Structures are given as structure tokens and as C-alpha cells.
Structure 1
């Protein structure tokens, strides 16, 4: 017997014995995948330059390189926001089919090029408004899905799985119709997943055999402890779900940061099978290729927010996924007798193809080393390779050791993922991201793209903007393609699209506009934090209608809109071209029509942010010659936050802590719209607390009062939510002391110097 201690103390708690017997059975493994959709979370990747775009794709899909995904779930676009963006429909109006729009077909082609065996899965979150006269559960929707499958075929893509309406329940007759239509249209091999929500669909399946035949896979969302964003220390299903005899999937899970969400991810896979017999896990999302002011900007298996710089990052979740996918394939089966919970703490599953085996172990909840003894029967007993990923600060996806023979013992360290496998061909990609930088001004786009495609860097939040021939002038223009309100997944808003850099401060946005019907268009500026739904947007809007009515409006993440100024200017009319512009200079906002000032407003709430275009409501209005040009100076401020305690600065991390000033990136803060930002995240009073001693951390920016700070004349930084001061506890000078809020007292431990303007 081989005995091996892995990277840590050799002493261990109680041992676990695992017998890997190839004659023993278990459910068939259906794969590990991820979801591109449920928002425009892949939107910016297509605009990345090479080689960085290819590097990100390799990390996601290339076998033996990174996450090596086995299933890719694609949103079937519906022109409406489905968390952090809107995906374009293939059929904005009935009969006008565009199989070349959006980026999901491109993404699927790239995935297939890297891994021809990857399986594809389609699911709708929203739908064009013409479908069923607003009724999703209609024949129109079934026909629309058949059209979508036809588009997939045009792209050389076979779809393996198809769902109904994401997290919006189910209609039994509709599912039966879908299943029958698939068979009748030559898509009988496509398996139907129901209902991409909870386990409730299984209750009707066990009562109704006809309905049960129409659903091939029971897919539930967030079925582990804590639900969406939970810790997944246990997972659950229902007796009826098990009684269906169908494969059970976690058809959406995740919603967590690429690093801090790694332990729940691996637990969802191992404990998902142990507790609930789930045989597939799909992470939401695939990646966060979205602007960092949007919700969920650091979730997924990679982050790619900066196409102009090519900067991206992978996280521990990438490598936790690789600990399963690089050692298994769909079609393998679990060995139930070699899967279970460790004697001390942790879990394991074993899979085999009948010859090789792979055992995946997680010790994420263990606090001490523990021994595991293995005995292998009826399977390959040649060299087994041990790969590890630390769930702490240790290395990712490392070939740590080899073991030989039919029996061996390993000493496992806590907070680690292990894979012991007789397979080969694993590897870890070596591509490195360039440094991130901002998008320089001026920026211009005349929208001379192929008809039916999206414009570079513009990220649609609601509706769908595509290049189309201009009406009333030559060339191509950007057209808002949704003529009526879509069947929505979350709340309604203007049809708008965002572009650019969060650090833009003083600038002018201008565009030529043409109204297709009576209504209003808008230019946006200093757009920053967005909450859900997408109408909850920190931004300024300059709106002008066909009658000439104009307004300058401030919006925020509560969904409130405040009119700062309004009046009447030249009527835009319909079917005529005009030039609109809005200038942000300090606290002055000036809106113009055809070079003439319509009006001004004074407001200092938003100091930095993106530009945007929009239609108030839904109309096929057109935009051309978008330009963002720099103003004089900029209110952006960047540098250290220096403490009144000599030589000390605020350092970013999971905790915001005191540290000796060193000029590092972790001590370089941006003062933006009242927030203090580092690495795209904001200084945050934990849990929106207001009590003395509430700790301060770094968190995704959301525009909340617990992320807003004002500087008083005495040098203190005060939380807008509580009025209390950023405080160095007990006048500490110890590096690593986490900062807190406390009643303001004027002490040196509450004095902070922000970066200069």
C-alpha cells in the first residue's frame, strides 16, 4: 500500500475508506457546464482583441487548458433585460428572421471549435412582444423555438437540450406540444428540460404520464442550501423528482464571485449528487463580460470587463470546475458505493467509464488533515494522478503527486479540492492578461456594420440595437429593433444601451437621431451603478420629444427619476434627422438640439460614468454618428487614502484594512460619484450596518448609502447611510487592522486624506 501526505501536516484525524469497485453502479453523469445568458453576461467578449479573446475562450472551453466545459447553455434572446443586459431576438417582428444577430451563435461556434463534444442547451428568459399577443405559453412560442433551432442548424450547431421559460413555471399542454412538435419537425433528438425553476414540475409528472413523457430532464435552479448565492453545504430534491426516473439537474446554480464562490461551486457538484442525485451542474453565468457597474460583475468562471484593453481574469472557480471536467466525460457513471461524506468533514464522488476512474474530493468544511484509504477493484490500477486546487491562498490546479497500485492512502489537507484519476491529458493554461486601462476619448462610431449586427462596445440594457440601412440618408445607422414591449423576465424600462468607461467625467455625448413615430429619445451620461431592474440606474438623461419638449433628468438605483430642468425647443418631428448633444462639465449639464442650447441644469450628484443612447418606450428610432468628446479636466480622482495615523493608508481586499503606505494597486482608490472604488469594487459598510463597530469591506458597487462617503471639514469620512465615521479601531498602527464605522470624534484615527482632484 502506498501512503502519501499532501502539502501539509502528515498527522490526520479519523480515516475514511473508499472502495472503488468497477462493478458497482450509479447514475449516468451528464456533465458540468455554464450559462451564457440570463443577461448579456457574454456581451463584451466578442469585442475583445486577439489574442486575448482567444485566450479567454481557451480558458473556458479548450480541453486540457482551463474549465473545459462539457455543456453550454445559451439564452434564446427576447429583446428584454434578463439580469444585466438584453439579448437580441432572432425575430423582432413576426416573419423577419435574422439568424446572424447577437453573439450567442458566435460563442457557440467558438466553443464547438475548441471542443466538438460540448453539448448545447437553449432556454428563453424573454420573448418578442408579438408572440402570442403577449402570451409566452402559445403556439407562436413553440414556432419561434423551431425557428431558433433552424438558425442553429444554419450555423452548423446541433442543440441537445431545450427548455421553456426560465423561472416562470410551466404549462403542461405547452410542454406536450413542444415535445410533439420537436419530433414532427425532425428534432426528436432534442431533450426537453422542465421547468428551469423548482422541483414542482415533478409533482405533475408523477400524476400525469402524458406530461411526464414530454419532459426528458427535470432541471431545478439553486437546489442547494441557501439557494441563489448560498453556501451549498447540503443540497435537496423531492421524492417526486426522484420518482420520475428522469435525470435530475442543477440546471442553474452559482451566482457567485469567481474566487469567493468556489467552495459552494464544488460542494454543489459533489453534494448535489450525494444528497439529491443531480447528474449535471450548470454555473450561472459563464463569465462576466459586462461593464463593472452592472449587477454580478465578478461572477462566473472569468471576468472580462474591458475590451479596449484586452484585460481579463480567471478565478479559482475556473480551476474548481477543471478538477471535475478535465477528468470525466458525459456518459461516465457515478459509483455510488465510492461516493459519500468523509469521516471528518468533506465529500467525494467517484465516476468511471468502465476502465478509468476519477474521484473528486472536497475538504472545504474541514478544519484539520484527514486520511483516506483507497482500494481499487475491476478498474485500471496503473498510475493514478493527484491534482489539487487550494480553496484558500494556495495554488490552483496543481499536479501534486502520483499513486500506484490497487490500494493507497492519502492524507488530505483542509480547504482543498482533490482529484485522483487514472486519466491523462490534463493541463493548465499559461496565457496572461495585459494590464487594464481606460477607453480614451474622443470616441466615435458611425455604425457602418453589417445589417443585423450589434455596434462595438454598446451593451443593450433593454430592447435591441442593431445596424440597419439608414432611412432618409445613406449608409448604416443603429436602429432600436423592438417595436413593442417584449414579454419580459424582469421589469420594464426605456430601451437603452450603455458604452464606455466608468472614469469618464467631463465630456459631451452627441448623436444624430431620427424618430420613427411620435415619442422621445435620450442621450445618457455619467451612468454608473445599476441595480435590478435595469431602470434603477444612476445616470443623467437628456430627453427630447417629437414636439420639442425636453428635459434633463437624474436617475438613481432606487428607480427614482428627478427632473432637473425642462422646457421646449425645436420640434424633432418624425422621419427627420436632428443632432442632439449633452455636455457634462463639473456640475453643469447642457443639452442642445442642432447646435442650439435647449437648456441647462446644475447638479453634482454624479461625477463620472458611461454614455448611452435610448428610446423612451419602444420605437424603431435610429441613431447615427455617435461621438463622445472630452471636456476640460475631469472630476476623477485617483490615489491613496491616507490616514491621520502617520505613514498609514487604507488597503483594499476582502476587508478594508490599515496598512503601511506603499503605493500599491490595493492602496490606489478612485473617488467616483461619492464612492471609493478599488479594482472595480466599492468601500462598503458591511450589511448596511449603522452600529458602532460595523466593519468595512470591499463589495460590488451598487449605489447604496452604505457605499457613499462624504468628507467633512475636519478630514473625517462619513458614511452617508449612518453619518458615522470611517474609523481605525483603537488608534491601531498594526497592518491588517480592519476598518470600521464609529461615532465621529475628530480623532486622528478618523482623519483621512482623499486623492487630490
Structure 2
């Protein structure tokens, strides 16, 4: 028996399978923490002569959209550390495929990505951050496969019709841009999740061939299902045009990924089949599904590519899907990041294989023929006897002994064993090297525990990165940017486009230097069903009382807006934001407005001042101080109003649809105070207050979130002793130290369950457990429970005291 870090590998070279099984079963019964004995041993033959398809790779999507935005703004060395965890072989997720969005100036889930061609013929190959990300990925893994796909496009393309010659020319121009960055794109898709047009794919193939891109393979149709494969069996020209059929969420959308079929027609085409978008799950909680899906996509459907959505959540916590991917990087100003369990599950395949390795069909399947026991896939390196077998036991309830027999020209040398305990929340249990196994006559055994992923391999070079994130911290005020330090076409630091395209341009109207310009001159070809006007966000969700000021110049009739206290927004159409807006038009009409995620616009104050005109610069300012909102133009106050709806959040720029405007000299300066020692405690994610249920003063009354109403049951005092008291004699209390412990009130007694640390980043940490005060499930509805949970920086763990 060989043991390392609590993981036990059982092997007895030269013994018969029955003897090995008996020894393994007896020993498994005494393993620490094991409540049921190992099942009867399962025989697995790893046959290098088995037929099977070639692996195309496992990777992820950057885009669909804006989810990688803040990564480029990270300081060094953290930026390189994160990139290494994503792409560097032998270090972290070691992605083999990187699929990127071809930006279209329109929201495509978590933001909008800029187009390389805002207007017909005006190509700029340096916009956005996807070129940079591909360069960084390629520098770390020169063999990484690059894939491009459009979610939307500027409105000039086909006059709004994507399935047009214009879009083909548009994609060819994008490939030309890739060449200027030294990048070779391996695959190109059509229009994400918008069906397909057979004639268009044929024309795309012809255009790629005629422009020197004959080696670029076409993926169809990046939608749900395999109907494109059905058409390929009926249309040989279409079949010849397409190299790979890719379907989305083949295991079910955000499912357990227990069953992942393709279709008989898809397999019959003989083409490569991909799960070309999968996941959409939390970077930790999605690990079990990911472990199943990577294996089962091949076992069930002969899919040789698996692409997770997305690569990383490099967005602030108020943006939709703020914790999906394999890592979270929401604070470039502090350098803080977190590598998820998903990264290590992915590594259990990517660090042990490479594109071109061949699956061994007869050596892949379900343990004992039972899905609930788990699955395994085996792959062989080309031109070599090396092999790897990846085993997942996500649904197993007991340890299982696997008796392996290696044959068919494969190496019978030392087998290396790595594992990840997917059920564990301890990072030391992820991607752990166990004891090597020395087979005898090609035979060896391994006892696998439930809830694990194992990789057994004859290869070397695997490793687990050691870089550590710094602590989180707020983006401090005052904050300012003149935009003069950026190259034209780039995005200003921390500015996150949600609709339209705000990029650095040479100032017009007599302003020197550079400005931020809203570039989209027409409604785009949308990907989402709802269509917000162009807007972009910047800053920290804990910003509360401040003045946001900026010089603004309208280039055409319409309006521009400053956003204040922007927080949660809804990406389902249209993209409505909780926040305040100061809107000014060229005619001089102005208004202070409030919006919410349901699109309930309210005009709080309005009026008319001297016409601003077009081509002329003016200074707009919006001051938010407690409940007082004040708007000014060129230093003169035009309106003041009182409103208590939104208490904290980001700043931003916005314009009317199709209105090009320039912004310069951004300034965000703090005003007033952060409030007294007693007041409400608002959740940044819900904008609701920490509330004692039913205004009860009884010990044990539960604490929840509720609409802020100024009641005594919502007035909390941070005492010098680190307690949060309410009613003067009751304290916020937790009766335990484990995740999910419900918060309540209790007579103040100074106990450890009543000690809290209120941090500058808005988190409230229970001293006794180190866990954060958390709104259950990131809920935002009245009555949602408040509890303890592992600190993750989410908006449901960010609180603003007033």
C-alpha cells in the first residue's frame, strides 16, 4: 500500500484479479472517513490497438461577452500569474483550446466587445483585448488551438442581416487582423446560437479559400442540437465546407452533465464533433458537472472537443455571471483573484493529454457498466506507447477498485497518479500527486474514492502552480483619468462596455489629447433579445457619496448621460441597470433619472438650460450625497432632488442609440461622510437592508434582507467591541461556525458568535469562523435569509453602512 496526502493506491504486481480485489476490499473498509466498503473490483483493459477518434482539445470561451475584460488591467505579477493558471502547460488549467468572441459592439451576456470594423471599411486591428489574450495564451502554449465566433455585429453588416456577403467579408477582415498580431486562427464559426444558413457556410468556405485561408476550418453551427449534421448528410457541398459540427450544452443547459449524447447522424458524418459551448457554472460549484461532461461527451456522443463558457469572470460582482469560468478576477486595483476548482478538474484532462492523442474506445466507458459508478476515458499519444486514463467518480457512494491490464503496444512502465477531491472545499485537495504505481506484466490496481477525478499516466511534466493572490481591497477615491496615456482604439482602464463601444480616440472640438468616444453609429445586429442604449461602467460597488464629473461633447443631436451609483444589472433584455442617470441633450433639456433592473425609469427632476449644441465641450457633474442628488452643467447647478433608492455603486458613461459622443477628464471625488455609527446596512447586490424579521425583539429572531424603511429593526450600531447591535440591547449573532449557519439576534453577551470584523471592502466577517455575512444564494428578494458562507467577494457579501 502506498499513501500520500490521504489518498491510497492499492496494487499488487503479479497477483490475480480476484486476489487483488479481495485485498483491496478488505483494506478499503478501514480507510479513514469511508463509511461503506469498496465494491467488487472492476477489470479495465487499456488497449493501445483500440480504435477511436482524435482529441481536438479541452478549453474555454473568452467572450459572449466581456467576461475577460478586467484581466488586461491587472498589475504584474498577478496578471501573469492568472494567465499561467489558465494557459501554461504543467501549471493550471492548461487549456488546449481558446475560443474568442469576434466583437460586435453589442452586449453578448456580460458586456459588449468592440468590433474591428465599427463602420464599413474602417478596420482597426488593435481594438479590444481578445488579440492580447490570444497572444498571451499562444506565448504560454504555442500549440493552443484558436477559434473565432461572432455573437453580434455592427449594424452596417448586411444592413442588419448577418447571413450576408458583408458578414463573410467582415470575418475575413478579422482573420487579416489576426495575422497582424502573428496569430493563426485554426477554426471559424458562424453566428452564435442564431441558427445557420447552408448557402452562407458554402460561400464562407469559398471566400476563405480564395483569400488564402484554406487551412482555416469551419465549425457549424454553434447552436443547440445537431440539425446542421442532418443537412450535411443531404448536401455533400455543405458537408465539404464544414470540418466540425459543434453543439451547445449537449448535456443540458447548466445540468449535472450526466448524459451527453450527440446524434447518430452527427456521428455518421465522420466529422469531428464538439461540445462547442458548455458550463455556464460557478467556478467552484460547477466542478462536478465539468468532470462528468469532459468524459461523457466522448463516451456518449464521440465528441472530441469540450469548450467551457467562459474562461474567466474578470468582471465586477454586479455584472451577470460574475463567478463563472475557471477563475474569478474582479479587482485589478488590488490584484486579488481566485482560481476555481473547475481549473483543477480541467487540468486532470489537459495536463495528461494533447490534441492529436487518440481516444481508445474499448478502454473508455462507465465503471462496471453503471453511470452512477463514474466514467473513464483512455487516450494514447501518437507515435508513442504513452497513455493516460481519466476517471471520474462524481456519483459513486463507495470506494471502487479498478484492476487495469495494459496491452496493445502501450508502455507497461511506471504509472503516475494525480487526483482532485471534487467534494472538498480545501484547495490542498486539488490536483495532488499520489504514489507512483509499478505494473507487473502490464497489470496494476487502483482504489478510487467517491467524488474524485483521477488521472493515471505514463507521461511526466504535470504540476500545480504556486502563485498566491494578494488580499482584496477597494478602489479608493478620489479617482480620475484624462485618457491621454492610452493608444487610440484601446479601452480606458477599468472601463467596462455593456452596450455600444467606448474607446480611446483623438479628441475633437478643440480639446487636445485623447478622449473616450462612443463609436457605435447605428443599432448593431443584436445577440440579446433586449436592446439597451450604449453604456459603460467603471469603479467600485462600495462607492457611495461622491461627485462624478466629466467633460462631454455631443457629435450629433441626441443626449449623453453620466451614471452614478450603478450596481446590479440584468442582462436579459434590455440590459437595465440599478442606478441614477444625469441626462443632457443638445437642446439643453436635462433630467435626473432612476432606473432599475426591470426597466422602470423614473424622472426625478428635469428642466431646460441653454442649448449645449453639437461639437462643443461642456462639463457635466452629478453629486450623490446621502439622499441628495445634484446635477450641474459647466459649474452651474441645474437641479437638486431627494431620493433614497440607490445608496452605492459605480459611475459610467451613456449615450442615446447611434449617438457618437466624446468624454474627457473623468473625476470621481468623495463628498460628505460615510454616515454615523448607527444606521442601515444595505446589501450591495440586493439594495435591501439587513432586517430583523417582523421587527421582533425576541432572542432567536432571524435576520434577513428587506426593503429599507428606516425602521428600528434596520438600525445597526457597530460597537467598540466589534458587535453589531440593534434595539440597543440585541446583537447580530450566529449560533455556529459552519457554512449556512443562519444569522439571528440575541441578547448582547460579548460571545464569539457576536464578534464581527467590518472591512473596507464591504465584507462583514464573523471573527469566530472567518466566514462572511452572506445573502443566501445571492438572492435579492424580500425575506431572503442571511447566513455565514465562505468569503468570495460577491455582491451578496458586500454591505454598505449608512
Q: What SS does the corresponding residue of 1:170 show, helix, strand or coil?
A: coil
Q: More deviation in 1-10 or 171-180?
A: 1-10
SS in 1 for 2:569: coil
Q: Deviations over 1:101-142 (max 9, x none)?
A: 100000100011111010100000010111111110111110
Measure how far apart 1:681 and its partner are. 9.8
TM-score of the pair, normalised by structure 1: 0.88
**Which whole-Å CA distance do the structure 1 matches of 2:137 and 2:70 have between them?**
16
Give me the whole-angstrom Cα distance separating, in 2, the residues matched to 1:368 and 1:203: 42
Quote the offset at 1:301 in angstroms.
0.9
Q: Which residue of 1 aligns with 2:585?
A: 545
Query: Which of 414, 417, 420 is the aligned partner of 1:383?
Result: 414
Q: Is the CA contact 1:570–1:593 (under 8 Å) kept in the aligned structure 2?
A: no
Distance across 1 between alignment mates of 2:472 and 2:738: 18
Distance 1:668 1:513 in 2: 32
Alignment match of 2:644 (pick from 580, 604, 607): 604
Show the 5 A alignment for 1:437-476: 437-448=473-484, 449-472=486-509, 473-476=511-514
In the alignment, is residue 514 of structure 1 matched against residue 540 of structure 2? no
Q: 1:625 to 1:669 in 2, by over 3 A?
A: closer
Which of 523, 530, 534 matches 2:562? 523
| Partner of residue 541, structure 2 | 502
Distance in 2, matches of 1:264 and 1:25, equals: 27
Q: Deviations over 1:283-318 (max 9, x none)?
A: 100000011101110010110000100000001101
Instruction: Rate the CA distance shift 1:138–1:152 in 2: closer, same or farther, 3 A.
Output: same
Figure out how many residues of one structure are paired with residues of the other and give that number: 695
Distance 1:652 1:64 in 2: 37
Query: Which of residues 390, 396, 400 in structure 2 aligns to 1:366?
Result: 396
2:259 maps to what in 1?
Answer: 234
Match of 1:739 in 2: none
**Aligned-residue offset at 1:668:** 10
Tell me the equivalent position of 2:617. 577
SS in 2 for 1:267: helix
- Matched residue, 1:137: 163
Question: 1:250 matched to which residue of 2?
Answer: 275
Note the C-alpha offset of 1:183: 1.0
Would you say the 8 A contact 1:494–1:616 is kept in 2?
yes
Aligned to 1:335: 360
The DSSP-based 3-state class of the residue aligned with 1:607 is: coil
Change in CA separation of 1:186 and 1:654 when aligned onto 2, cut-off 3 Å? farther
Aligned residues of 1:642 and 1:648 also touching (Cα < 8 A): no
* C-alpha distance in structure 2 between counterparts of 1:163 and 1:252, whole Å: 12
1:413 is aligned to 449
Quote how far apart the aligned CAs of 1:15 are: 2.2
Q: 1:495 to 1:668 in 2, by over 3 A?
A: closer
SS of alignment partner, residue 201 of structure 2: helix
1:211 is the counterpart of 2:238: yes
> Alpha carbons of 1:249 and 1:681: their partners in 2 closer, same or farther (altered >3 Å)?
farther
TM-score between the two structures when normalised by the length of structure 2:
0.83
SS in 2 for 1:401: coil
Cα RMSD (Å): 2.5
Question: Does the CA-based 8 Å contact 1:232-1:268 persist in structure 2?
Answer: yes
Pair 1:126-2:126 in alignment: no
Q: Is 2:250 the partner of 1:223? A: yes
Deviation at 1:637, TM superposition (A): 5.0
Cα distance change, pair 165–481 in 1 and its aligned pair in 2 (3 A): same
Is the 8 Å Cα contact of residues 642 and 649 (structure 1) preserved in structure 2?
Answer: no
Aligned residue in 2 for 1:698? 777
Q: What is the DSSP-based 3-state SS (H/G/I as helix, E as strand, rest coil) of the residue aligned with 2:239?
A: helix
- Deviation at 1:14? 2.6
State the partner residue of 1:183: 209
Give the whole-Å Cα distance in 2 for the aligned partners of 1:654 and 1:457: 33
Shift of 1:438: 0.5
| 1:146-197 CA distance string (max 9 Å, x none) | 1100000010000000000000000111000001111111111111000000
2:162 and 2:786 map into 1 onto residues whose CA distance is 53
- Pairing of 1:1-400 with structure 2 (within 5 A): 1-2=12-13, 9=34, 11-198=37-224, 199-224=226-251, 227-343=252-368, 345-353=373-381, 354-377=384-407, 378-393=409-424, 394=426, 395-400=429-434
- 1:368: Cα distance to partner? 1.1
For 1:278 and 1:681, locate their aligned partners in 2 and report how far apart those are by CA, in whole Å: 41
